[in-house]
Structure 1
Amino acid sequence: MYLSEIKKVLPTLENVAFQLENGNFVPEHFHVTEVGQITKTFIDCGGVVRHEKTVNFQLWNADDFEHRLKPAKLLHIISLSEEKLGMQDAVIEVEYQSETIGKYDLEFNGTHFILKNKTTACLAADACGIPAAKQPMKLTDLSSSTANSCDPNSGCC
């Protein structure tokens, strides 16, 4: 989800709720303690220099159980971030601590925001010798065409 998308969704909501993919909700009393833009410059294992920008939201649970972040307040924090940091529209990445600090992609399901598990991948698979994944095939899918088969009596096998 891009920053521009969340800015369109928030005015339509009464409450802001985040849910993990496993079905658990972030407690209602969470705080958004940071909104920022992260620029990452790195080199992949194939030697290609890459640049990546994301908008970062950090969620935190405190002991103030009566706290509820309203959509207008989050819009205000986003607006301040754009003004003060010159933040650009980019994909949102959410940091949230469960067992450790996790990074999540963000989606909206029409009611609340979903923290989507992120995965790693090799960006230069062709350069580091990782073979392409072969698609599994069922024996019943094999062609019975005689042009691609060998007669056991032909001497070719």
Structure 2
Amino acid sequence: MKLSEIKQHLSTLETIAFELPNGTLVPSHFHVTEIGKIDKNFIDCGGTIRNEQVANFQLWEENDYDHRLHPEKLVHIIELSEKVLGLPDLDIEVEYQGETIGKYNLDFDGKHFLLTNKQTDCLAKDKCGIPAEKPKVKLAELQNASCCTPESGCC
């Protein structure tokens, strides 16, 4: 989800809820403690230099049960971040504290913002010898019908 998309979704909501991949909700007294831009400059295992940018939201909760972040306040924080940090319309990555800091992609189901699992991947499969996914073929298509008849002696 991009920054423009979250602002659009927030404009339709009365409350904000983030749902973890296991279906539980982040407690409603969460705060967005940071919005920033993360630049990742790296070289992949095939030797290609890469650059990725994401807008990073950090969700945090504590024993502050009296405050709730309202949609219009989060829109204001996002717009301030865009202005002050010069954020373009980037994809959003969300950090949330579990056993360690988890990093999630963001989606929306019409009611909740969904924290979706991120996956690692090899970006240079063609250069590091990782074969492409094997095609799925039906065994019946591989067999020669003439050699597998009952009188062929193959069984």
TM-score (norm 2): 0.90
Q: How does 1:31-110 map to 2 (within 5 A)?
A: 31-110=31-110
% same residue: 60
Residue of structure 2 in register with 1:22 after alignment? 22
Deviation per residue, 1:36-75 (Å, 9 max, x gap)? 1111111000000011110000000111012211001101
Displacement of 1:142: 1.9
Displacement of 1:131: 1.5
Assess, with a 3 A threshold, how the Cα gap between structure 1 residues 151 and 24 changes in structure 2: closer, same or farther.
closer
Q: What SS does the aligned partner of 1:12 have?
A: coil
Assess, with a 3 A threshold, how the Cα gap between structure 1 residues 71 and 145 changes in structure 2: closer, same or farther.
same
Residue of structure 2 in register with 1:6 after alignment? 6
2:148 and 2:17 map into 1 onto residues whose CA distance is 65
Assess, with a 3 A threshold, how the Cα gap between structure 1 residues 151 and 62 changes in structure 2: closer, same or farther.
closer
Deviation per residue, 1:94-115 (Å, 9 max, x gap)? 0001111000000000001000
Displacement of 1:79: 1.0
- Mind listing any 5+ residue stretches in structure 2 that lack a counterpart? 150-155
How many residue pairs were aligned? 151
2:114 and 2:36 map into 1 onto residues whose CA distance is 19
Letter in 1 for 2:81: S
Letter in 1 for 2:30: F
Q: What SS does the aligned partner of 1:142 have?
A: helix
Root mean square deviation, CA, Å:
2.1
Residue of structure 1 in register with 2:153 after alignment? none
Q: What SS does the aligned partner of 1:40 have?
A: strand
Q: What SS does the aligned partner of 2:135 have?
A: coil
1:46 and 1:61 map into 2 onto residues whose CA distance is 40
Residue of structure 1 in register with 2:152 after alignment? none
2:148 and 2:8 map into 1 onto residues whose CA distance is 66
Displacement of 1:137: 3.8
1:151 and 1:32 map into 2 onto residues whose CA distance is 66
- Mind listing any 5+ residue stretches in structure 1 that lack a counterpart? 153-157
Q: What SS does the aligned partner of 1:7 have?
A: helix
